Copies of this chain bind each other. A is one copy, B any other.
């Protein structure tokens, strides 16, 4: 995070001068994009389209759990952001082909980084979740940290 996109507070807890997003929140572009990526199907669709162009129902069959509605919405989102293209072939019955744009393909790399991380650490995460879940019952005492923080501000 090369640090220029969001007014993340610097090292010291400063009085905090935020450029106030006066109106509603639009957040930083990172958050914005991340929410796209975080929805249930976008990543999967991008990855599949990363292989080759797909027709609508072909894509539908290629991604088992998805509904037509969500496939359509996801594709519209990608199209709107310029990540995927939509080509309509005026045949009967109509044929529509979706493909990643250059921009869309440029996302594949960064996406893979996170995806690889997820694959690599999935078991560790799963174990952590299980462990924390158990500790809910055993509910031990308070940790004894190596140093004591002075709360006195």
Q: Which residues of B contact A34 (CB under 8 A)?
A: 37-38, 43, 114-115, 118
**Interchain CB contact under 8 A, B117 and A110:** yes
Count residues of chain A with CB under 8 A from any CB of chain B: 87
State the CA gap A37–B88 with chains docked (Å).
Answer: 34
**Interchain CB contact under 8 A, A151 and B93:** yes
In the complex, whether A121 has a CB less than 8 A from a CB of chain B is yes
State the CA gap A151–B115 with chains docked (Å).
Answer: 34
State the CA gap A44–B149 with chains docked (Å).
Answer: 25
Q: Which residues of B contact A145 (CB under 8 A)?
A: 87-89, 97
**Interchain CB contact under 8 A, A151 and B95:** yes
Interface code A116-139, partner B: CB below 8 Å = 1, 0 otherwise? 111101101101110011000000
**Interchain CB contact under 8 A, B9 and A97:** no
Measured CB to CB, the nearest residue on chain B to A79 is B132
Q: Which residues of B contact A29 (CB under 8 A)?
A: 118-119, 122, 125
Interface residues of A in 94-124 (CB under 8 A from B): 94-95, 97, 103, 106-119, 121-122, 124
What are 26 A-B pairs with beta-carbon distances under 8 A? Answer: A1-B50, A1-B116, A4-B119, A5-B119, A6-B47, A7-B64, A8-B51, A10-B51, A13-B61, A25-B65, A27-B65, A29-B125, A31-B44, A33-B122, A33-B125, A34-B43, A35-B38, A35-B39, A38-B39, A82-B125, A88-B143, A90-B142, A91-B148, A109-B113, A110-B114, A113-B114
